[in-house]
Amino acid sequence: MLLVIDVGNTNIVLGVLEGDELIESWRITTTSKRTSDEFGMLVYSMIEHKGLKLEDIEHVIISSVVPDIMYSLTNGIRKYFDIEPLIVGPGIKTGVNIKTDNPREVGSDRIVNVVAAYHIYGGPAIAIDFGTATTYDIINEKGEFIAGITSPGIRISADALWQKAAKLPNIAIKKPDSIMAKNTITSMQAGLVYGYIGQVEYIVNKIKEEMNNPNIKVIATGGLAKIIEAETEVIDIYEPLLTLKGLQIIYEKNK
């Protein structure tokens, strides 16, 4: 079995795959304060709790945008699983050519997402990841990562409102029944959700315009993708496991 680990700024998502089948997945909070023993025991206990055996895990691949935790995480995997994890980074085979000004600046999570989008759905495609930041990554029909757009995530936008405006509360992110809000909470929810829908639609349509291609596939993933994709027709596919599938594809190219 293959253990895939996606380290994001807010959460770490883990999955165990056997062949193409996802057996189990977990989500834990990202923190740099865990030791290698804490990481090792945490991952070990989650796998054991689901009735899987430690010896069933034969390989591990990690993508991370948080360098500070990598020493503890990778050593925890080595210590408790006796496996040298494959790390997504420079020199690893992905099957994707990065055609940006500085390829080393492109986050590994973004590379993993376009790998999955291209491998599963073909190109050209736009992979939108609704995470801490919202990223729009574009891969063309030749498998080249040609551009990426980054905007503040929905939660960051919500946090900025209540932290910077003394009278505004911290709210749950959800779509109100109507954009015609009649109280503070639904007013904030309407601005965040409907405003974000507008952002997604404008950016996607602008990409299609500049590429002179109205038929580019748009794949959405990430924790808050489901709220947005249900409200717009510009998203063609909602794939919550896009990053985990991308990690599996990259592992197969490098094993």
CA distance linking residue 85 with residue 62, whole number of Å = 7
CA distances from 68 to 9, 60, 103 (A): 11, 19, 21
Closest by alpha carbon to 116, among 147, 98, 143, 153?
143
6 given a catalytic annotation: no
How far is the C-alpha of 26 from the C-alpha of 142, rounded, in Å? 34
- Pair 62, 5: CB distance under 8 Å: yes
Catalytic residue among 6, 37, 56, 109: 109
How far the first Cα of the chain sits from its last, in Å, is 13
8 Å CB contact between 181 and 189: yes
The residues carrying an active-site annotation are: 109
